[in-house]
Amino acid sequence: MNREVFREFFHRSREWSKATSGEALFQIVARDLREVVGVDSGFFAYRQPTLTEGATSQQIDCYSSWGSIEYSKEQMSRLLEEAILGASAWTPMMGQWVLAKDLSVDFRYAGSNLELLEIGIWPLTSQKRLQGVIVVSGSRSGAHRLSEGLGTMFMDACSAQISVALDLLIVGKSAEEASQRDLLTGLYNRRGFEANLPQMVEQADESGVYLALGLCDLDNLKDINDSKGHPVGDKVLRRVGNIINRTVREDDLVARFGGDEFAVLLQMENTDVESAVQRIRQAVSERANGYSISVGGAVFGIDGDWQECYQVADERLYEFKRCMKLGQLK
């Protein structure tokens, strides 16, 4: 019986690497633990790494994934913190099954007909650090299908398999994030811009605001490169990108499409995109040590969809350049 359980469970575990998020992974694992091993309740608490402009920040995500154990999100967060800090109350429970009568921590079942038999906490590691825990429990009505020694060995292997799957998720997300970033400025590239565009459109629709596209070209980049060298041109591009990014709101999106071209997606209360892009141009003019940009904009819905807005904004940008050249604008 033990052999059949092991074989079935780890055959299923091959599918874990296909999960696209930590939550999806935990849901699959919870299903397999319940259906194959008979672990009738449990939850996951996990500190999920999140990439933000190339840096890694962390937030605690809790998942009460299956069964009837009664534990709030706040309690799960506290459990994770205590486990990571090595709190003495949890240390004896890490990596083994503990009989309910020997517990120093109060766990309760939501179903009054369930009698808690045993509980265990296993570590979840990622990038060689403790990032979370899996808490598993069994009742007398649904005791797991493995002997005591094999049950501990099984959960050791299970937590290791989950940890590997979590590392694969992080590597995949890091690679995807990197592929959407411009290496020179750290802003989104065109791929990242277009990947985030549907969500921005949806958010604007839900919030009842307008979504505007602004295009910005650094003026005379070729002359800068030719006269001062490409390292200076790169430095100017980084500075201008940083100014644009700091000028728009946090919920707006900034990207470098390549060469001297930047794009912004702006959530606006009105349709005055001209004033919005001119504010960006003014900020660059004031803070970029004598360098400047040309701008053009379009509003989604009024000027068309994404492709139509891009064409309209581009036409307005080059009309702006023409007028500047003729001295019709300041």
Each domain of the chain, given as residue ranges in start order, spans: 2-179, 190-325
CA–CA separation, 187 and 240 (whole Å): 11
pLDDT of residue 140: 53
Residues in the chain: 330
Under DSSP, the state recorded for 68 is S
pTM exceeds 0.85 for this model? no
Under DSSP, the state recorded for 324 is H
Cα separations in angstroms, 189 against 177, 246, 264, 281: 10, 17, 11, 20
Q: Which residues contact 30 (CB under 8 A, 6 or more apart)?
A: 42, 44, 65, 66
pLDDT of residue 295: 96
pLDDT of residue 142: 47
Q: Which residues contact 95 (CB under 8 A, 6 or more apart)?
A: 120, 121, 122, 123, 152, 155, 156
CATH topology of domain 2-179: Beta-Lactamase (3.30.450)
Exposed, middle or buried: residue 246 (CB in 10 Å: 0-12, 13-18, 19+)?
exposed
Low-confidence ranges of the chain (pLDDT < 50): 51-58, 109-113, 141-142
pLDDT of residue 49: 60
Return the SS3 of 35.
Answer: helix
The CATH class of 190-325 is alpha beta
